[in-house]
Amino acid sequence: MLNYSEVAISPLEVPEELSICIYISGCQNHCKDCHYPELRRYDYGDPLLPNLSNIVDVYLQQATCVCFMGEGQERDRHQLIEANKYIKKRGLKTCLYSGRDVTIEEWMKVFNYIKIGSFQKDKGPLYSKKTNQRLYKLAGDDDKAEDITYLFW
């Protein structure tokens, strides 16, 4: 089951968006110097899907995007995609902060924004010009992804 631990609203995670940030449990990455190691636990927090409409309702008039801070376990990917569909029906954009060192995978293309790349302390976070992390904006049906990391600099 896809769990989340907390919700916050932030203007910092996705440029030009006010995002509802939902912290997803079951992180696969185990990054060195992780700022939130509790998210590695699969059972940490509460089930997301039964609570999602309440989360969205609280911030719907303020937010323009929902940012999933983590993707959880592969076995729960269908729940993340289901949550994405629900949020888009409510008129919000979606973002996935994967944090894995991968290229954009086919299943990720349902999101409007995707952040990939593990946190590496010596390279810094997205606002560092040395970062290995990248935030992409997906253009839609044509499968084009624009690297918008520079907007953090």
Q: Span 4-21, mean pLDDT?
A: 96
pLDDT greater at residue 118 or residue 18: 18
pLDDT of 130 higher than 90:
yes
pLDDT of 31 higher than 90:
no
Question: What integer pLDDT is reported at residue 142 of this predicted model?
Answer: 66
Q: What is the pLDDT of residues 73-126, one digit of tens each?
A: 999 999 999 999 999 999 999 999 998 999 999 999 999 999 999 888 899 999
**What is the percent of the chain where pLDDT is above 90?**
79
Q: Span 137-146, mean pLDDT?
A: 82
pTM of the predicted model as reported, rounded to 2 decimal places: 0.93
User: What average pLDDT is seen over the chain?
Assistant: 92
Q: Span 133-142, mean pLDDT?
A: 86
Reading the block at residue 27, the tokens are 């992180």
Q: How far apart are CA 142 and CA 153, in angstroms?
A: 27
Q: How far apart are CA 52 and CA 37, in angstroms?
A: 23
Q: How far apart are CA 31 and CA 118, in angstroms?
A: 7
Q: Span 20-42, mean pLDDT?
A: 82
| DSSP one-letter string for 27-92 | -S---TT-S-GGGG-TT-SEESGGGHHHHHHHHTTT-SEEEEE----GGGHHHHHHHHHHHHHTT-
Closest CA to 27 of 36, 39, 43: 39
5 and 25 in contact (C-beta within 8 Å)? yes
Q: Span 46-71, mean pLDDT?
A: 96
